[in-house]
Amino acid sequence: MKRLLISMAGLSLITGLTFAQMRDVPPGHWAYQSIEQLVQMGIIEGYPDGTFRPNRTMTRAEFAQAIARAYRNIDERLRAINQRIEEIAGRPQPDGQPADTTQLQNQINELRNQVQELQKLNEALQTLQRLAQTFQQELAGMGVDIDALKRDMASLRARVEALEGKEDKFKMSGDLTFGVYGAHSIDGKDVYTLNRTTLGTGRLLENIAVTHELGLTFSGQINEEVSGSATLILGNFLPYAGGSGKSALTTFSIPATVGNTDIVIWEAFVKAPIDIFGAKVDVTVGRYPAKLTPFTLQRIKPNYYLNFPRYGDGAFRVDGGALAFNFDTFRLNLWAAQVNQQSNNGVFNVLGFQNHNSTTTGSMDQFAGARLEFDAIRGENTNLTIGATYYASGIGSGQNFLFNGTPVAVNIDRVDVFGADIRAKFAGFNVGVEYAQSNFMNDTSNVLDRENWALDANLGYNFSENLGLVAGYREVRPYFAAPGSWGRVGYLYNPSDLRGFYAGVNYNASQDLKVNLTGAFLEGTGQVPGGYTKNDEVIQVLAGIDYRLSDRWNLSLNYEGAYWKVAGVKPVWNYFTLGVGYNLGENAALNVLYQIIDTDGKGAPVPFRGGPVIPGTTKNSGAVAATTLSVKF
């Protein structure tokens, strides 16, 4: 923790010196481009003579004056639009006479023109928000009430959303996705995939699963303050994937089978603002998405090979309520909810406290907590945000926490998760730090609170728009377990009891060709009996090439290799993946994937064989083919 505080203090000092030295804004600063955009939109006229001269060095006071004028301009235009829409919407038809369809059509066209103007103003508001954050000291020095401007900003945005809602208060959208998934053996043995699925020993057309899903989303503005959204899904993909809350240890049957078609309420929630002691609080009630940080609360994608649209956001769906307080630089979220939602095929959303070799015998059934975020520094090129998370979750009475199958904490009924994180940007660098720990409890007493923490710290730098580097250090202790998603090595999700460094590079050779390469060098912590020793290690290599052949065709080639040294032997896992994407239009896409799996456990114990235990061999050679067709409407 001392190291984190020292890093934060250093960032604050650097940023303070940077702003103190920059009294004038030189040409080329991002703020010039923002002002130029506002000039082009007709929001601001630039200098008093009606021109904008981006080659001239402007003072920060001049920028502040321009921002203040822009706010007043937008406010006046919004008032005029609001009045005009009210006149059109409230214009009555003459009693006893047929409706004038020509007049109605003209009113509709005029409303559409007003909404287009609102969309342009909304873009301008976003630009002004970024400018105001950077030049807030100058605005205050001019006698401008920056807090009042920010309140006006929130009010203007609310009015824009309200006015846009007058054209279309109810919306319906949907998606229809089909997936075909199968495998074939190369060596005549079972095929063990990155889904932790054994698909059998057949030929290519002997182990095929066809999945489908229809999703319908209904959303609308109930009134000027209250909005709602609901999503229903109908299909067999969710039962096939084992539910949306895939855990680090999910394993399927041999072979995996397609279940019955299911009907699920995926989301259904209402949002409304309320006033609490003069502060505006956004309230969400119902089944809503919940996501925090990778170590504390984040969902693993349930299927590696099939790209069904709604499962890539990393958010669990929970039933309950949440309060969101926004105090400008402070944001506080409070929630209480339950999980383990049911469908016709059973529970489809399980939140387990697990890593790749540890688990609790019970899963989360309800939880409550808080997350606080503080913007210590704001700016386009320099910023610092500090976050803190805490939640307590019940897992049922009389549960145990198992490490490699051995109980290390017994008679537990609750898990408390604590987290802290930092996100910063300065001098072209991007900094990220996250720390978390999970305490296993019996009522209010700690049962296990050692070797139960995780840390990730990384530093990134973009040398140009086409070249970026990142390097970091990660350590996950053996008894840390949470419903998070912090990575994988092959089919081992959320690896723990490992520590080491990683680095990656992204290079855009052209608009059509992108290359990425990542390497992780991990060793065992050697902290607990039965875990990895300091002589155990794994090197993971990830490499990928994405190439756009045309406006419709995309090609990708990816490789993952895991080179182990464990229990005196050196297992090797190799995965080669070819992907082809075809753009069928604005709302439709076709993706085809083919993966070759070649692993050799070299006599290592489970789970390092690279596949299931097969008499007479420790190898796993096979391939997976998958196709996904998705249409949105």
Write down all domains in the chain, each with its CATH number in brackets.
2-167 (no CATH), 170-632 (2.40.160.10)
- Residue 94 predicted with pLDDT over 50: no
- For the cut 80, the answer to whether the pLDDT of residue 119 exceeds it is no
**How many C-beta neighbours within 10 Å does residue 206 have?**
14
3-class state of residue 494 by DSSP: coil
Question: Does 271 have pLDDT greater than 90?
Answer: yes
Mean pLDDT of the chain: 81
Is residue 240 within 8 Å of residue 288, measured between CB atoms?
Answer: no
In the prediction, which pLDDT does 405 show?
87
Residue 574 pairs in a beta bridge with: 561, 598
Beta carbons of 198 and 192 less than 8 angstroms apart: yes
Q: What's the CA gap between 216 and 309, in Å, rounded? A: 12
Specify the amino acid at residue 577: T
The conformation of residue 535, written as its DSSP 8-state character, comes to T
pLDDT at 3: 42
| Mean pLDDT, range 338-347, rounded to an integer | 78
Q: Label residue 342 by pLDDT band (50, 70, 90).
A: confident
User: Quick one: which of 381, 405, 395, 472 has its CA closest to 439?
Assistant: 395
- Give the HSE-up count for residue 259: Cα atoms under 13 Å, Cβ half-sphere: 20
What secondary structure letter does DSSP report for 310?
G
- Within 13 A of 268's CA, how many CA atoms are on the CB side? 8
Q: Enumerate residues 6+ apart whose C-beta is below 8 A from 457.
A: 432, 433, 434, 472, 473, 474
The mean per-residue pLDDT over the stretch 605-614 comes to 68
As a whole number, mean pLDDT of residues 100-125 equals: 60
Distance between CA atoms of residues 345 and 326, nearest Å: 40
Mean pLDDT throughout 334-363?
86
For 228-266, letters b (16+ CB in 10 Å) and e give: bbbbbbebbbbbbbbbbbbbbbbebeebbeebebbebeb
Least reliable range by pLDDT among 35-49, 236-250, 320-334, 445-459: 35-49
Interval 99-121 mean pLDDT: 58
Confidence of residue 255 (pLDDT cuts 50, 70, 90): very low
**Residue 349 pLDDT greater than 50, yes or no:** yes
- Backbone phi, psi, residue 491, to 5°: -95, 10
The two three-digit tokens of residue 187, written as one number:
């060596």
- Report yes or no: 379 and 356 within 8 Å, Cβ to Cβ: no
* Res 344: pLDDT: 74
| pLDDT above 50: residue 438 | yes
Most confident by average pLDDT, 80-84, 157-161, 541-545: 541-545
For 65, the token pair is 């004056």
**Range with the lowest mean pLDDT among 135-149, 430-444, 446-460?**
135-149
pLDDT tens digits, residue range 519-530?
Answer: 999 999 999 998
Half-sphere exposure of 219 (CA within 13 A, CB side): 9
Euclidean distance between CA atoms 454 and 359, whole angstroms: 16
Only one residue has tokens 């299911």, namely 262
For 53-63, what is each residue's pLDDT tens digit?
555 666 777 77
Rounded to whole angstroms, how far apart are CA atoms 542 and 574? 10
- E-state strands within 199-253: 208-221, 227-235
Question: 60: closest CA among 146, 138, 124, 128?
Answer: 138
Instruction: Name the burial class of residue 427, with classes exposed (0-12), middle (13-18) and buried (19+) by CB atoms within 10 angstroms of its CB.
Output: exposed
Mean pLDDT within 247-263: 63
Q: Is pLDDT larger for residue 402 or for residue 611?
A: 402
> What's the pLDDT score for residue 74?
73
> Positive or negative, the Cα torsion across 587, 232, 486, 375?
positive
Record the tokens describing residue 306, joined without a space: 């099939």
Between β-strands 262-276 and 346-347, what pairing exists: parallel, antiparallel or unpaired?
A: unpaired
User: How many CA atoms lie less than 13 Å away from 539 in the CB half-sphere?
Assistant: 6
Contact present, 475 and 494 (Cβ < 8 Å): no
